[in-house]
Each structure stands twice: as C-alpha cells, then as structure tokens.
Structure 1
C-alpha cells in the first residue's frame, strides 16, 4: 500500500472533529425513492457486513436529536425506507459518534423527482471508510466492494475517491485555510456534501475520480463504451461493463490523492474530465455565493 495519504484532522473552534481522511463511495440515482429503497437497504446491509460490527452507533431521530442505533432504531429506519408513509423519502444518516466525524458514515437522501421546491433533485447514497480500512484490506477489496454496492443501485453517476470524510459537509466548520490548502495541493482529495448536491445536480456528473461509475443517461451522452475506450487508452485505465448499460471506469490502481507538490495530475484524469465536461454540474446565474463559485471551480479542477 502506498504511504502518501495525508493524515487529515479538521477541528472546529471548540475542538470537535469536523472531518478526517478516508475513502468515499457515492452514487446518484435518478429513480423514485419508493422504487430504489429496497436496493438502498440491500446496499446498506452489504456495507455493514464489510465494516467492524457495531461501528455505526447513532442516527438523527425524527425530533432532530441523536439517538442510539439499537434494535428499535434499526426497526424504525427500516420502516422509513421500506414501508408507508415514508417509502424511502426520509433521509437516513448513520454515524460512529453523536458529536464528531468518524471514518465510517452512511448517508441517504431520497429525493422525489420533480420536487418543485428543489432545483434538480436526485437521490444519493454514500458510504465512507477511514484510510486505515484501505491500508488493511487493500485497493482490490475496496474496488470489489464499491462494485458490489454499485450493482445494487441503478445509478446515473457515482464515484469512489480519497476524501475528507465529514457528515453533511461539516468540514466547512473547521479552519477553512487548512481545508483550502489541502484541496489546492491534492486534487485527488474530494470534499463532498451530498445533502446539498442531491437537491441540485440531477443527472449531471461531478469530477472524475479513482473509480468513476457512469450510468444512463450519462454513458449514452458520452458516446457509450466505444467512445470511452477510444479516449482512455492508458495502461492504468480499465473499463468494466455493468448490467443495465452502465460502466465502471478505473483510472488508477489506487485512490491517489495526487500530491501536486511531487507530480503532475495524471493525464487519464484530464482526458476523462474533458470528455465529461459538457455534462458537469455547475451552479448558474450571476453573483453566485462564494461556496457555489468554489464548487463550480472544484468540479472542473482536472480540466
């Protein structure tokens, strides 16, 4: 295993851990929540089997307070996903700690397609792991697990990347100067907030990553497998067709943070970014808030 992963601990002013280094696996699914809820539940069970037993011990209850994830909690969450009246519409978040960011974290946001309150909603599911998990189990194991999770979910887009693991994008509550310096140095480091993104990105794409999952309509818009094969003729790249007219693009043997102080951005990332550029999500409009401007620039970082 490579030894170039930076150790990241982002803390709030009061000293709470707001974000840490790890691996993110994330999928965006353009289907009604009631249709995908059973698949989300199966993917969650696969994730729980892969991580240490009892690691996820807390969830936000209906009153907004953190509640222990005991048998009663599991029964309630299962009902929220699979039974009326929720049928997958209730967001679900499972955490290691009730107050700090941990390495293991599950987030699900079931978005009703065409919701008039949201700009361009799409459901999202994400799973995280501490970097230590990758070191212990290796990249082949984590890639196989990401593929297993993706098999369950009829995604339009997904990815796996080295990331700042932080529930609901709470890394922003840490020292932004530190975060900004990390993101400037490591373009292979992802800073995500799926609660926000799932309400706006629709079937658009985010930046390429170590593992990039392309479903419909994105794969068709890119020209299909032939266009990807022709454009990504690099020895490090592999394309794996998936059931349902989808594909897993592996850009490297490991989730490289890409330390630009020691090497340039690998060319396969730039090539895939150029292919995907017409379909990138971007906030639009004049006078965008700074965070939206920064998000637009970050998504285009490999161009």
Structure 2
C-alpha cells in the first residue's frame, strides 16, 4: 500500500473546522490513576518532544474554560497528572487551536477503579496528529513513535488509525450529511472517543495493541497468529505479555470505491468481535459509535 489519504473536513456553522483527517493513537488501561500516572506523564512528554514546537497551546481548566498553555499551564497539567489529588476522576485536555482543530491534541481520562472492573472505571488516553505529520515522517518512523508512547503503558487494548480528529467528540457538531458520506466510502476512518471500555476491545486498526487480561481471554499470541495468516500482518511481542499487531505498511482509509476491505482487517475485526465494548447507555451517539466500530465485521 502507498500513501494515499483523503482530505476530510467537518465544519461548525461559523466555518471553523470541527474535525479533520489525521492519525489517532489511543490506549486503554485497566488500572487506577495512581498506578499509571507516572507512565502516562512520560508518554505525554514523548509526544511533546516528537511534534513541532508550540503544537499544543490550550488546555481545559477545571471550570470548563479554555486557557493558554504557557509555563504556568504546564505546571497545572503536571500537578493534575502526577501529584494525584484525591478525587473520583482525572481529566486533561490539550489542543493546538482554541475552538477548532489543526490535528494535534491530547486527552487523558482516569476513573477510580471499581471492582469487579467494568465500564465506568479505568484509564484512557489519546494522542492525535494531522495527516501531514504521518506523510512527513513516513510509516516506519510513525510506528516507532507509537511504540515509544506505548512502551511503559500497562494497556489491555490500544490502537493507531487513520481518523477523523476532533476536540472531545466535537465531530457531532459538524454536518452529519457530510459525515455519512465519508463513512459510506472510507471504512478505515476511526471516530476517536476517549472513554472507559472496561476490559474490552474497540475493533481492528492499522496498529492494534493487546495486553492482559484481554489478550489472555483471546487465547494469547498463538490464537491471533492462526486467525491472521496474511503476509501483510506482523506481530511484535512486547514486555509484560503485551503484543503489537500491524496490519499494513501504512494506515488504510479503506476507500471502498477503489478496493474491497483488506482481508486482514476484516479477519481481525471478526476475531475481536466477541470481545468488543458495548456502551452501557442506550443513546444516539453511543449507538452510532457502536455501529461504526463494528462496520468491518457486522
């Protein structure tokens, strides 16, 4: 596969970009904030080193306002992520633009663990990049960067994918007719949602990360190897019984007007189907996301 990505844009009514094409990297960890905070902070530091200077300029304040991410703002974020104040949930949102999106964003959500573990507890974080970053870096350097972000994280599931990047789900404020047109054609586009997914999965992606306890429930590395006997697929065992599955050289927008769904994407989607996250609340947005996540293996 070569680099051939569509230009995707959703706009607010005033013309500001609500969502755009890019790459999302997300990780989901069945652990409390106090266990993962240091590793997540180091991953954020790696992300900041990798992207162009001043790519992150705004952060969400506790009162809902958006403030400039200067040195004082970074200290607020460090305290929020590292000092571990006593609370029921932790939340960090960093972005490049105030109001719109240019492609660089970071989100961190951590909910106090509840036992037995279920949706509504655990930790999730995501990093996004504009498509131009991927094209400039190339797939091998991009994959190496994603591995660096993942290296210390005790994830049970994670992924990197071509995506429709938006701030905190603001794609919902865009033109739904345009969104439906995109999704009828580009089945490889992810709709990022930094949410608690318990110990479930979120479908097949360009890079799919699996770890305990989810990987154990699936039958381990050998079960995946048997389910994905394709020359395009590679497996990289990682420390702490984790695994990276790479489905193709580049992320794939899966333009069905030009080619069918790659068989390795469909095979992994079907393999993961019994382990897929299902929203607890029956609402319109949740159902829309759930249907989209299952599109490669309905």
Instruction: Tell me the TM-score normalized by structure 1.
Output: 0.93
Aligned partners of 1:80 and 1:86 also within 8 Å: no
Aligned partners of 1:111 and 1:123 also within 8 Å: yes
SS of aligned partner of 2:245: strand
1:249 correspondence with 2:258: no
Q: Distance in 2 between matches of 1:254 and 1:241?
A: 20
Q: Distance in 2 between matches of 1:88 and 1:234?
A: 44
Moved over 3 A (4+): 86-89
Q: How does 1:1-303 map to 2 (within 5 A)?
A: 2-86=2-86, 89-114=89-114, 119-194=119-194, 197-198=195-196, 201-283=197-279, 288-303=282-297
Relative to structure 1, the CA distance from residue 79 to residue 86 in structure 2 (aligned partners, 3 Å threshold; closer, same or farther) is: farther
Count of paired positions = 296
Aligned partners of 2:33 and 2:84 also within 8 Å: no
Shift of 1:89: 4.0
Q: RMSD of the alignment, in Å?
A: 1.9
Q: Distance in 2 between matches of 1:112 and 1:13?
A: 37
Alignment gaps of 5+ in structure 2: none
Aligned partners of 1:162 and 1:189 also within 8 Å: yes
Relative to structure 1, the CA distance from residue 100 to residue 272 in structure 2 (aligned partners, 3 Å threshold; closer, same or farther) is: same
Q: Distance in 1 between matches of 2:126 and 2:207?
A: 14
Residues 212-263 of structure 1 show CA distances to partners (whole Å, capped at 9, x for unaligned) of 0001111111111111111111000000001111100000111010100011
Instruction: Tell me the TM-score normalized by structure 2.
Output: 0.95
Relative to structure 1, the CA distance from residue 264 to residue 64 in structure 2 (aligned partners, 3 Å threshold; closer, same or farther) is: same
Residues 87-131 of structure 1 show CA distances to partners (whole Å, capped at 9, x for unaligned) of 894211111111111211000001111299x95322111001100
Q: Distance in 2 between matches of 1:259 and 1:220?
A: 33
Shift of 1:290: 2.9
Alignment gaps of 5+ in structure 1: none
SS of aligned partner of 1:133: helix
SS of aligned partner of 1:189: coil
